[in-house]
Amino acid sequence: MRVAMYYNNRDVRIEEMQTPHIGPGELLVKVMASGICGSDVMEWYRIKKAPLVLGHEIAGEVVAVGEGVKRFKTGDRVTVAHHVPCNTCHYCLNGHYSVCETLRTTNFSPGGFSEYTRIPQINVDRGTFILPDEVSYEEGTFAEPLACTLLGQRKAGLQPGHSVLVIGSGISGLLHIQLARALGAGSIFAVDISEYRLKIARQVGADFAIHAKEDVPDYVRKNNNGRLADVVIVCTGATPAVQQAFHTVDRGGTILFFAPTEPNVTTTINLWDLWRNCNSVIMSYAGPPDDTARSIELIRAGRVKVKELITHRLALAETASGFKMVAEAKESIKVIIEPHK
């Protein structure tokens, strides 16, 4: 079978690999669509593991079923979570699935930028979900990133009527905007350095779109009854965005750091202001199986309209071009690879 082998952001090659053999409890999935995630082009993170086949936002068709599998059959349309928790460790039992050691070490193989992938038994058990008839394969690729978004907003305590400021209006920021709108948020502000992305942010539900070079705190106050934002969601690892979060969160409000910085990046925090204003700082990573199921239902019901976020649909042979577009972050939002196109 063909795969797109990642060497670095500028070197993604179409290569041949043996189609995976499956064992008991496993599935073989024909990958119909696989999204390029922003984390796929975090070169500082990916290159140390290269060469490898990336792609963790997948949807496809079950084409072979291992011995003992009861819940799935050939022909089923599915989406699959690459990381799954054990559900039994100290962290899982306390609701901290993202730091479960099993979650951090599980994956399907190869990644989704391939014609077929093998789903290990643990991923079959708690990370494979049937796609409703109303949800296309390309929409199904959003189940994983939207699940991450759901977990983040729940941890941030977002409530109906809360004002929300999203810093960084790439794909994760746009999902946060749509989800916040679906969950009944009040005023939603989007911030970015790209006018293209700010335009999309308005289209998908932001009430206000602000260029990062503007006086963002002043803009928010003028359009939010004199107050800053109840919830600030940071969807970029850029240091200026990290600093901006602390200047735009209201008293009693919460900052959610959704995107990582590179390792060893440091920034200054005025602890006195945090203490005096009773602010909370939250981190969030990944999404447990329950949130994946919820995200599929949100997509099915049209509460989060993911199809309009897709700007490019490419064949497997064009994966290198897709990586280039996502890494450059110019006029693309979601790039979908269709391995059998």
Which residues fall within 8 angstroms of residue 33, CB to CB, at 6 or more apart?
58, 59, 60, 137, 138, 140, 141, 336, 337, 338
Supply the pLDDT for residue 132: 98
Question: Domains of the chain by range and CATH?
Answer: 2-144+287-338 (3.90.180.10), 157-283 (3.40.50.720)
Provide the pLDDT confidence category of residue 341 given band limits of 50, 70 and 90. confident
Q: What percentage of the chain's residues is helix, strand, coil (to nearest 5)?
A: 35, 25, 40
Give first-to-last CA distance, the chain, whole Å.
Answer: 14
Q: Region 64-87: what's the mean pLDDT?
A: 97
Structure confidence by residue, pLDDT tens digits, 216-245: 999 999 999 999 999 999 999 999 999 999
Q: How many CB atoms lie within 10 A of CB 74?
A: 11
Phi/psi-derived region of residue 279, left when phi > 0, alpha when psi is between -120 and 50, beta in every other case: beta
The DSSP 8-state label assigned to residue 214 in this structure reads S
Under 8 Å between Cβ of 200 and 176: no
Q: How many CB atoms lie within 10 A of CB 251?
A: 12
Asked, as a colleague might, if the bond just before 110 is cis with ω within 30 of 0, I would say yes
Q: If you search the block for the tokens 């500028």, which residue do you land on? A: 10
Under 8 Å between Cβ of 120 and 10: no
Question: What does the block give as tokens for 310?
Answer: 């897709």
Q: What is the mean pLDDT of the chain?
A: 96
Residue 5 has pLDDT above 90, yes or no: yes
- C-alpha to C-alpha distance for 206 and 223, rounded to whole angstroms: 13
Supply the pLDDT for residue 51: 96
- C-alpha to C-alpha distance for 232 and 244, rounded to whole angstroms: 10
Beta strands of 131-219 (E only): which ranges? Answer: 164-167, 188-192, 208-211
Under 8 Å between Cβ of 242 and 261: yes
Q: If you search the block for the tokens 């291992």, which residue do you land on? A: 66
CA 12 to chain centre: 22
- C-alpha to C-alpha distance for 274 and 253, rounded to whole angstroms: 10
Residue 1 has pLDDT above 90, yes or no: yes
Provide the pLDDT confidence category of residue 125 given band limits of 50, 70 and 90. very high
Closest by CA to 285, choosing from 108, 159, 100, is: 100
DSSP conformation letters of 271-322: HHHHHHTT-EEEE-----HHHHHHHHHHHHTTSS--GGGEEEEEEGGGHHHH
Supply the pLDDT for residue 207: 98
b/e per residue, 13-49, with b = 16+ CB within 10 A? eeeeeeebebeebbbbbbbbbbbbbbebbbbeebeee
What's this model's pTM, rounded to 2 decimal places?
0.96
Provide the pLDDT confidence category of residue 14 given band limits of 50, 70 and 90. very high
Supply the pLDDT for residue 315: 98
Structure confidence by residue, pLDDT tens digits, 234-280: 999 999 999 999 999 999 999 999 999 989 888 889 999 999 999 99
Question: What does the block give as tokens for 121?
Answer: 């038994």
